[in-house]
Structure 1
Amino acid sequence: MDVLLIWAAGCLRAVQLAVWIPVPLIGGLRMYRLPALVLAGYLLTVAWTVLLFVRAGRARRLGHGWVYADVVVALLGLLLVPAACIASCDTGWQHWVLPPAMGAAIVAAAFTPRWPAAAAVALLVAGYLAGSLRELLAGPDGFGAITVNAVSLLGFAVLAAVVAGYLRGSAAQLDAATEAALAAGAREAAAQARFDERTRQYDALHRTVLTTLSAIARGRLDHRREEVRALAQRDADYLRGLVTAGSGGPTGNLASALAGVVRDKQALGLQVHSQFHDLSERLPPDVEQALTNAVSEALTNVTKHAGTDEAWLTAVGGDGGITLTVVDRGRGFRPAAVAPGRGLVRELRHCVVEVGGRVAIDSAPEQGTMVEVSWRR
């Protein structure tokens, strides 16, 4: 907000100084005893104004010391310029210092604390009246105009203080509202992150521990078999990894990861016929993890719902992409009948779509199911 006020005050000061530019061009300097000194004073005031506002614009603030110096420059002009006039010029165009002095009062009111600003404005009003003393003593003719100028100088300063205070208050309220909105957004993002993490952990448990326990509970597995015990040990390691913030992340080799999935599902009693081709290309870790999870979920679905103990897995790479296909000849289902956000469709899309992959499911009752997962760079 201070930047806006600085540029507004600078533009106002430029206009206030510019109104006197035609005076030397039309011979108005003849109205002064020392026209060269008056012109030099005007040019020095212009130079000071440029220095003041250019520096303030670059610093994005107007320091109190610079404001007080501006008041001193205006005060000197209010005292010296009237003394240089041949005739009285306290209320005429010859008194070119008065408009910039009003600008100095506005700047003091807008950029300094209340009491220093009040003192600066009072000093400028007193300086104007002191410079106009000759005309005040000469008679009542100029009294009205001088009074109007003095009241205007004071009134503009008060108005500037009110407007600047209102704008700064509004800006503070806007900043507070923005901070509150950002904080709310951060809280929402954190809550969403926690929800996503819980969903990821649930999906991982669904693919591993819960699938193993469900198969054992249904009597489909003999927990005394070595491969079942090894699978249970891996699942236990996974649970310990969750407790210690481990992720069981990607291996860096998709073929190896898929082979591990096949091995785990076979330990659960599912016969998986796998065929891999051209999987040598290294994938981003999140993509490898997503594709591995998708295959695991598709095979888990065969184990739990297809009513068959046989499935086929094909993985083909090349041309900057991967295509994975899981097929079974089980009971099948109608994908359109599955409620949105549930079942195999939700699980697979949650795994794959967020890394830029695609999922296609083709199934019909008693016709088996084909799941195709693809990803391209």
Structure 2
Amino acid sequence: MSETGGAGAVARLRRLELLALALAKAGGFLNIGAGLLTDRAEMRSVPGCLCLAAGLLPTGVGVVVAGFRRGRVLPGWVTADILVTGVALALNAQLVRPGPQTGWAYFSYPYSLLSLVGVGMAYRRLAVTAAAAVALALVYLLSVWTVPGQGWNGVPNVVSYLGLTPLVWLVTHELDSNARTIDRERELSEDLARGQERTRYYRILHDRVLQTFEALLRDGLVTAGEPRSYLATEAAWLRHLVETGDERSSGDLLAALDSVAARMAHQGLKVEVNAAALTQGGSPHSRLERDQVAAVADAAAEALANTRKHAGVDRAVVRATVEGGCVLVSVTDAGRGFDPSALPRRSGLERSITQRLAEVGGTVLVDSAPGAGTCVRLAVLLKP
């Protein structure tokens, strides 16, 4: 299940997390700005504090920008941000004047608390999250201990580090669990809907097409030898599909192309299959998956059907080879051709061939021109 793409619940949660992180960082920088503007009297070195504030910008902004680019809060960036924040806590403590109250001059403290929001979101394990919170709390405690007049005043603030981070982690992981459950239930619902749709189509095929085929054979309306044999073969295949849902795809591309050529011959189109490269021992085309073989064979069959209907010729050539990690199959005829750019966007070529190949990661290239014949090239990437 993808965590970053689509419109699923998990993807929406990731975007919500990034928005929360961006708001937390914005709040942290507002705290820094308030300190620089209102509490300069408590600073030993205003330029030093300005440089320190500028030093927090790269990772503070980077963790948000990188997260939005990748679609989720990135642990690596959060770790870098926490390390920089820890250094800022120590340096900021040395840049404030001694005394029981440092006010907003110690701007790294509220900034560091808000930075822990990213820790609670980024790390998957609670132990790692807690360790990051404890480490930052210790850095803070040691830093304020070095400021004369602070001493034990910083101890109560440690509770904020140790309480906020696990809370964010628990809320994030509960939401994540719920989002994953929602996505799983949605996928199951979609699978059920697809299954019901297939059942409806199978019922239509059985009640209309298959019954018609078998009635033609049973009532003797088709008596000629070759047409009757072809119709009987197709009726048997359709009954097997309706009853089992299995298209009888063996996963053998050469056999599938030969079967397509035989079907086209029954319909009056002579097809020469040139696939010598697939007969060689160890041919990598055997790594094609069944759905890829079915898609290529069906696309080739559709291209040949177009030749039979539109090209004005009774011959076509199918060539298959393996090049550059791809199986390439071309369907070529010397017919009347056409202008591919003139086809409507939702033409049969796109629906029946291009989309079919795209579903298995394949591509289609159509080379044709009026009076110059047509060549449809199908390419499918071999799995490693």
Could you state the TM-score of these two structures normalised by the residue count of structure 2?
0.54
Offset of 1:147 from its aligned partner? Answer: 3.6
Matches of residues 115-130 of structure 1 in structure 2 within 5 Å?
115-130=127-142
The answer to whether the aligner puts 1:17 opposite 2:10 as a matched pair is: no
- CA distance in 1 between partners of 2:181 and 2:72 (Å): 20
Counterparts of 1:28-43 in structure 2, within 5 Å, are: 28-43=39-54
Contact 1:81 1:95 in 2 (8 A): yes
Instruction: Show the counterpart of 1:195.
Output: 203
Distance (whole Å) between structure 1 residues aligned to residue 55 and residue 61 of structure 2: 10
The CA distance in 2 between the partners of 1:153 and 1:43, in whole Å, is: 23
Contact 2:213 2:235 in 1 (8 A): no
The equivalences for 1:245-324 within 5 A come to none
Shift, 1:155, TM fit: 1.2
How far 1:115 sits from its partner (Å)? 2.0
Matches within 5 A, 1:102-251: 102-112=113-123, 113-134=125-146, 138=149, 143=153, 146-205=154-213, 208-210=216-218, 212=219, 230=223, 234-235=227-228, 237-243=230-236
What's the CA shift for 1:7? Answer: 2.1
C-alpha spacing 1:170/1:244, structure 2 compared with 1 (3 Å): closer
- Structure 1: how far apart are the matches of 2:75 and 2:132? 11
CA contact (8 A) 1:82 1:89 kept: no
Q: Does 1:75 align with 2:86?
A: yes
Tell me the amino acid that sits aligned with residue 4 of structure 1: L
Give 1:158 deviation, angstroms: 1.4
SS of the aligned residue for 2:103 comes to: coil
Q: One-letter code of the match for 2:135?
A: L
Is there any run of 5+ residues in structure 1 with no aligned partner, and where? 214-227, 253-283, 289-377
> For each residue in 1:261-285, what CA deviation from the matched residue of structure 2 results, as whole angstroms up to 9, or x when unmatched?
xxxxxxxxxxxxxxxxxxxxxxx99
The 8 Å contact of residues 89 and 95 in structure 1, kept in 2 or not, is answered as no
The whole-number CA distance in structure 1 between the counterparts of 2:134 and 2:268 is: 78
Q: Deviations over 1:160-216 (max 9, x none)?
A: 011111111011101111121122122222222322221233442376234x35xxx
What displacement does 1:244 show? Answer: 5.0
> In the alignment, residue 13 of structure 1 is paired with which amino acid?
K
Q: CA deviation digits over 1:18-70, x for unaligned, max 9?
A: 133244444x3232112101111112213331122111110123332222111
Q: Is the CA contact (8 Å cut-off) linking 1:121 and 1:154 kept in structure 2?
A: yes
Segments of 5+ residues of structure 2 without an aligned counterpart are 1-12, 239-262, 270-304, 310-384
Distance 2:186 2:209 in 1: 34
- Percent identity, please: 17
The CA distance in 2 between the partners of 1:39 and 1:248, in whole Å, is 82
Matches of 2:91 and 2:61, distance apart in 1: 21
Tell me by how many angstroms 1:89 deviates. Answer: 6.9
Partners of 2:184 and 2:64 lie apart in 1 by 29
- Report if aligned partners of 1:105, 1:124 keep a CA contact under 8 Å in 2: no
1:52-63 pair list within 5 angstroms: 52-63=63-74
Give the aligned residue type for 2:132.
A
Q: Matched residue of 1:186: which SS?
A: helix
CA contact (8 A) 1:17 1:99 kept: no
Mapped to 1, the partners of 2:162 and 2:222 lie a distance apart of 91
8 Å contact kept, 1:31–1:85: yes
Q: Give the corresponding residue for 1:86.
A: 97
For residue 98 of structure 1, report the CA deviation from its aligned partner.
1.1
The question of whether the paired residues in 2 share the 8 Å contact of 1:38 and 1:81 is answered with yes
Match of 1:62, SS state, is coil
Structure 1 residues 138, 44: closer, same or farther in 2, change over 3 A?
closer
Distance 1:185 1:165 in 2: 30
C-alpha change, 1:13 and 1:178, in structure 2 (3 Å) is: same
In structure 2, relative to structure 1, the CA distance for the partners of 1:66 and 1:240 (3 Å cut) is closer
Task: Report the alpha carbon displacement of residue 92 of structure 1 after superposing the two structures with TM.
Answer: 2.1
Q: For 1:48, which of 59, 65, 68 is the aligned residue?
A: 59
RMSD: 3.2
Preserved contact between residue 17 and residue 96 of structure 1 (Cα < 8 Å):
no
Q: Which residue of 2 aligns with 1:361?
A: none
Equivalent pair of 1:110/1:160 in contact (CA under 8 Å): yes
Give the counterpart letter for 1:84 in structure 2.
L
- Deviation for aligned residue 1:73: 1.0
TM-score (norm 1): 0.55
Per the alignment, residue 112 of structure 2 pairs with 101
Distance in structure 2 (CA, Å) of the matches to 1:159 and 1:229? 76
CA distance in 1, matches of 2:43, 2:62: 27
2:16 corresponds to 1:4: yes
> Does structure 1 retain, via aligned residues, the 8 Å contact 2:120–2:166?
yes
Q: Once the 2 structures are TM-superposed, how far is the Cα of residue 236 of structure 1 from its aligned partner?
A: 5.5
CA contact (8 A) 2:99 2:150 kept: no
Corresponding residue for residue 367 of structure 2: none
Distance 1:18 1:103, change over 3 A: same
How many pairs were matched up?
A: 235
How far, CA to CA, are the matches of 2:74 and 2:67 in structure 1?
A: 8
